[in-house]
Structure 1
Amino acid sequence: MFSTRFLVLQVLLAGCALAVIHDCNNFHNGVYNLRYCDFSNVFVTHDAEDIVFRSEYPRPYYFEFNDSKLTEIPRILFSSFPEMQNLEVAKSQVENINKYTFEHAKDLRYLNLSSNQLTVLNNFVFKGCDKLVRLDISNNRISEIKPNALGDASKLDHLDLSSNLLEVLDENLFSKLILLSYLSLANNKLKVLPDHLLDNCTLLAHLDLKDNQLQTLPENFSKNMIYLRTLNVDSNRLTSLTIPQQLTKLFASKNRLSSVYAVEPDKSQLYTLSLSKNQIAGITNITMLESLGVLDVSFNPVGALNLTAFLKLRKLVDLNLEATQLTRLEYGLFTQQTKLRRLDISYNFMRKIDLTVLTSTPSLEKLFVDGNGLLEINYELVPKLFPNLTYLGLFANAWNCSYLAGLVRFCNNKGIEVSSTKTYGEMLHMTNVQGIYCAGSDSDRVYFQPSTAIRHDDDNLNQDKDVQLELIVGNISSTEFEYKLMVELLEMIRTVNATNSGRLEEVRRIAMGSERGCTPIHATGYQVFIMLILTFILVINVGFLLYVHYNANARRTIDQMIIFRRGETASVQTQLEEF
């Protein structure tokens, strides 16, 4: 009996000796965090290898692998830490995910597998990921995704499949992702989207299809996506485009568009529209969208503008007409653009520009007149016309050097920037003032063609942040899960506000017309009743937000207590190991 026990003990000791042990590093950006666990220099060539992952604190939930090579993700990781919520396995040379990899990942919510070497996603590979809400598989080599690959991740909210080698997608691939709000298929090789690919993704708010080879979009592809707000189809091969009325941002530059059409433009919610570098010859359909605040039609053969072209665009704050073959600006063209802050009319054929044409745009902060072959400009009127101007683009014109020196000096004295903030337009190899080309004499003058134009950077086309959300969480230290709850709460409040305005309008019509036999007194009572209900809902939502914040503070307090106790006594795990 004794010899048998001794033999078993020897086998166990031999197994422990052969096992590869990796201890967790709890320091994140130099700060000790019990919930964070970093494993570095981990090498796994096969999932069946005998590996032990250990942590001093028994319940971390944020895990990250650095400087590691994992041909497969070890399943023992999830059985060792069943409360794992976040897993970062980026740049770890992962080549394969098998059917049982995540069977014990019951609490996993965020999974980052970006920048690995995956080539295919087989059916049911995410079986066990019942709570997964965010999945990033971008920058791999995936050329095929099986129809049921994502079926077990039905709670996904954010899915990134960008920068892969996808050419074809199964029509049912996203059929079970009914909670999906963000989807990126950017930078793949897609030529066609199946007609019913996104029919069940009714909550989708952000869809990124840029850098593919799409020639058309399915008819009514966004019909069921009533919450779709941002659509990016930059750098495809589209020739025509219909704008869904629920969109607030549409990016469709670098296509072959000659026709852009909006269904019921008076109901459109579109605020940002980018159509740069297409084949658009007329913008009449576009300027019917009264909600537009940012419009970019640069590098299109637009030509002469009708005097009433922008009459309905009273909300415009950013207008880009760079390289649109303009020859002049008519008086009255910008009569309604009192809110305009950025105007780009560079690289056109306007040899002369009278700034008084822009008298109705006193809010201008940035004005680009580069590349028009200008000899002079009535710059002495700038402070009076544009008291808020901070930048004036003057590059690639035909200035006389003496005249330009006076213009630049004037702008510097008025606090108006003229130097390029980017490597745009500077011509230091030619006669210049502060990098701006000028001619010493008429015989030396060079006229630059629009074909030499370089697109100006526009910050308004690169803003993906939610300003309202930043105001809410600006002073709150939260986990990603709490952040997501706040996003959902904010969207709920916005929906209530949007619904409220429609109902109030209906009440007003009832009161004015006494529809349905209802008197004005009844209509007012109905309005008060609706307002009370909406107020009650708002109070509940705010209470929920405070509850989430309170729980976060309580959890952080417990963590601090654990850190304090850690300094006095050894951890439970350490004691067990010593035993």
Structure 2
Amino acid sequence: MSLPQDKSAGMFGLRILLLLFLLPIYHAIIHDCNHFLNSVYTIRYCALTNISVTHDAEEVVFRSEYPRPYNFEFYDSRLTEIPRIMFTSFPEMQNLDVSRSQIENINKYTFEHAKELRYLNLSSNQLTVLNDFVFKGCDKLMRLDISNNRIVEVKEKALYDATKIDHLDLSKNELHDLDRDLFSKLNLLTYLSLANNKLSMLHDNLFDNCSMIAYLDLKGNRIHSLSDSFLRSLIYLRTLVIDNNSLTTLKIPPQLTKLFAAENNLTSVYTEDSSKSQLYLLMLSGNNLADIKNITTLESIVILDLSFNPIGPLNLTTFLRLKKLTDLNLEATKLGTLEHGIFAQQSKLRRLDISYNALRVIDITVLTSTPSLEKLFVDGNEIRAINYEHIPELFPNLTYLGLFANAWNCSYLTTLVRNCNRRGISVSPTKAYGEVSHLTNVQGIYCASSDKERILFQPVYHDDDNLDREKDVRLKLMAEKLSATGFDQDSVVELLEMIRLVNTTSNSQLEEVRRIALHTDRNCEVPFASGYQVFIMLILTTILVLNVAFLLYVHYNANARRAIDRMIIFRRGETASVQTHLEDF
């Protein structure tokens, strides 16, 4: 009689064991990929929304209809830590964006299986420290963005395992100091941003092994000096951004092409040998420069901003050597007059800002030597009249004339504005000087009937509208777009490098052919000279065809890859596993 009871007890125990076995699976949290990118179904893209992972040990499962996506983005998520299971579930992952995900910590083995990861965005999280070897496993990582966190310390060997990084953003953190060996393994680094931290000094040997750096952003720190040896070691440095620091003197290295050094305490800017300088853009607004003799010897400069410096009167030879200038900003530099001949060599000048000086009278004919002028700012002076009748003949390309905050009589200003409007010259203020709608004005330009009623407006510091610094990081944006569209980034970069080498070699060969054509036999007859020209044209045509063929090859491969991806048929069995097969091509 006890047998049935024993049997029922055994069945009950078996059920308990089965329940305990299935319990972990039952509690596993499953997150499915959303493959829509900008409303387009993209099989290699995976968006994960409203994900919450408070500990890496949580039972979390990430699933995708397509078994091999490599571009992942998290939206509106809370990831105290990055779940390691992602890299084992998707071993082909190349791009991972976990920005704004409230990440507080990165474990040592988080990226142990991230063997294919190329781009990692950790910006706008809550990280405070990067420990040693934290990126162990990221053998192919090229771009790392850790900006806008709360990082106070980066350990000496934090980046030791990510030796292929070429783009690193550590801006908007709380860094006070950097270990001298922090970047010692980053031999391929070309872009580095340390902007908006609390750095007061940089070790002279900090970039000894990073000679490839071309773009260095140090703005918004507390740096009071940069040694000559520090800048000299960066032989490929082309753009240096060091706005909003505490520099008093600055020596410009010859390899620089762009220098942004506004809002410092600079009293001296110089170069060792101006004849070797490659600088074509120099931004020095908001400093304490009273003497600019060393600057005006840099003949390569094309864009020069000296605004908000106590420079004072200029002599006739100030800009004599700056024949390439196209953009000159002299706003708020305490100019009293402009003499005839001061811009005698600036025939290429397209933009001139002389606003907010002490100019009571301006004779347009002073600018006779600048026929290419497109924008002229004379705002904020004490000008009462301007000989505008000469504008059409002197400046046929003028499109904008800044007239705000001068001593205009309303009747005179109305006539001046009408004249400009008839000639297609815009006069509406482009700078945010203040609201004038409640005051007497003509097209937003303040005027008064008498000096007693006149209101004074203060100058406004502004960034020039034609100096978009994002142009300096076009390579970064291009690479990200290539990754998002499914191209093999390494192949494309290699192909473009091949094209560049072909063009370089071809240019050398063409120069040799041209030299032979001109010097081997000066007594050759005209038909032979024509033959050389035809030969050169054939070579040029061949180079063009080769370049087009390369680009068509890239385009064909990308289309073929997308076509194959579309032919993958997905089948789900009862166990919810994914099975795939390819149709005949």
State the TM-score, normalizing by the size of structure 2.
0.86
Structure 1 residues 407 and 360, CA gap change in structure 2 (3 angstroms): same
* Distance apart, 1:561 and its partner CA: 2.2
CA contact (8 A) 1:395 1:425 kept: no
Q: Write the mapping of 1:440-455 to structure 2, written as runs, cut at 5 A.
A: 440-446=449-455, 452-455=458-461
Partner of 2:386: 377
1:416 aligns with 2:425: yes
The one of 460, 464, 471 equivalent to 1:465 is 471
* Distance apart, 1:560 and its partner CA: 2.5
SS across alignment from 1:64:
strand
Partner of 1:525: none
The one of 94, 116, 119 equivalent to 1:85 is 94
CA contact (8 A) 2:363 2:386 kept: yes
CA contact (8 A) 1:493 1:538 kept: no
Separation of aligned partners in 1, 2:279 and 2:486: 29
* Distance apart, 1:461 and its partner CA: 2.1
Structure 1 residues 494 and 235, CA gap change in structure 2 (3 angstroms): farther
Partner of 1:173: 182
Partner of 1:349: 358
The one of 134, 158, 173 equivalent to 1:164 is 173
Structure 1 residues 334 and 81, CA gap change in structure 2 (3 angstroms): same
Counterpart of 1:377, as a letter, is I
Partner of 2:564: 558
The one of 267, 276, 287 equivalent to 2:276 is 267
CA contact (8 A) 2:487 2:558 kept: no
Partner of 1:295: 304
Which deviates further from its counterpart, 278-287 or 459-468?
Answer: 459-468
Partner of 2:332: 323
Partner of 2:372: 363
Structure 1 residues 572 and 30, CA gap change in structure 2 (3 angstroms): farther
Q: Write the mapping of 1:93-172 to structure 2, written as runs, cut at 5 A.
A: 93-172=102-181
Structure 1 residues 428 and 576, CA gap change in structure 2 (3 angstroms): closer
CA contact (8 A) 1:398 1:447 kept: no
Structure 1 residues 372 and 366, CA gap change in structure 2 (3 angstroms): same
Report Cα offsets for 1:391-423 as digits up to 9, x if no partner: 110011000110001111111111111112342
Separation of aligned partners in 2, 1:541 and 1:221: 40
Q: Write the mapping of 1:207-226 to structure 2, written as runs, cut at 5 A.
A: 207-226=216-235
Counterpart of 2:567, as a letter, is M
SS across alignment from 2:407:
coil
CA contact (8 A) 1:510 1:520 kept: no
CA contact (8 A) 2:483 2:489 kept: no
Report Cα offsets for 1:43-76 as digits up to 9, x if no partner: 1111011111111111100111111101000111
* Distance apart, 1:77 and its partner CA: 0.8
Separation of aligned partners in 1, 2:418 and 2:346: 29
Separation of aligned partners in 2, 1:307 and 1:497: 44
The one of 201, 204, 211 equivalent to 1:195 is 204
* Distance apart, 1:220 and its partner CA: 1.9
CA contact (8 A) 2:408 2:448 kept: yes
Partner of 2:577: 576
Structure 1 residues 442 and 423, CA gap change in structure 2 (3 angstroms): closer
SS across alignment from 1:221:
helix
Cα RMSD of the aligned pairs, angstroms, is 3.7
Partner of 2:76: 67
CA contact (8 A) 2:98 2:122 kept: yes
Structure 1 residues 572 and 156, CA gap change in structure 2 (3 angstroms): farther
CA contact (8 A) 1:469 1:490 kept: no
Separation of aligned partners in 2, 1:349 and 1:269: 34
Structure 1 residues 94 and 103, CA gap change in structure 2 (3 angstroms): same
Separation of aligned partners in 1, 2:279 and 2:55: 51
Question: Which runs of 5 or more structure 1 residues have no equivalent in the other structure?
Answer: 522-530
CA contact (8 A) 1:56 1:571 kept: no
The one of 237, 246, 259 equivalent to 2:255 is 246
SS across alignment from 2:231:
coil
- How many correspondences in the alignment? 556
Structure 1 residues 575 and 92, CA gap change in structure 2 (3 angstroms): closer
Structure 1 residues 176 and 532, CA gap change in structure 2 (3 angstroms): farther
Report Cα offsets for 1:160-210 as digits up to 9, x if no partner: 000000000000000000011110000000000011111111111110000
State the TM-score, normalizing by the size of structure 1.
0.87
* Distance apart, 1:314 and its partner CA: 1.9
Separation of aligned partners in 2, 1:501 and 1:264: 30
Counterpart of 2:88, as a letter, is S
* Distance apart, 1:559 and its partner CA: 2.3
CA contact (8 A) 1:347 1:369 kept: yes
Counterpart of 2:215, as a letter, is H
1:432 aligns with 2:433: no
Counterpart of 2:25, as a letter, is C
* Distance apart, 1:493 and its partner CA: 6.7
CA contact (8 A) 1:338 1:360 kept: yes
The structure that has the greater radius of gyration is 2
Which deviates further from its counterpart, 540-549 or 174-183?
Answer: 540-549
SS across alignment from 2:62:
strand
Report Cα offsets for 1:438-458 as digits up to 9, x if no partner: 12124434565xxx2113441
Which deviates further from its counterpart, 492-501 or 352-361?
Answer: 492-501
Which deviates further from its counterpart, 361-370 or 159-168?
Answer: 361-370
* Distance apart, 1:334 and its partner CA: 1.3
* Distance apart, 1:388 and its partner CA: 1.2
Which deviates further from its counterpart, 112-121 or 323-332?
Answer: 323-332
Percent identical residues: 66
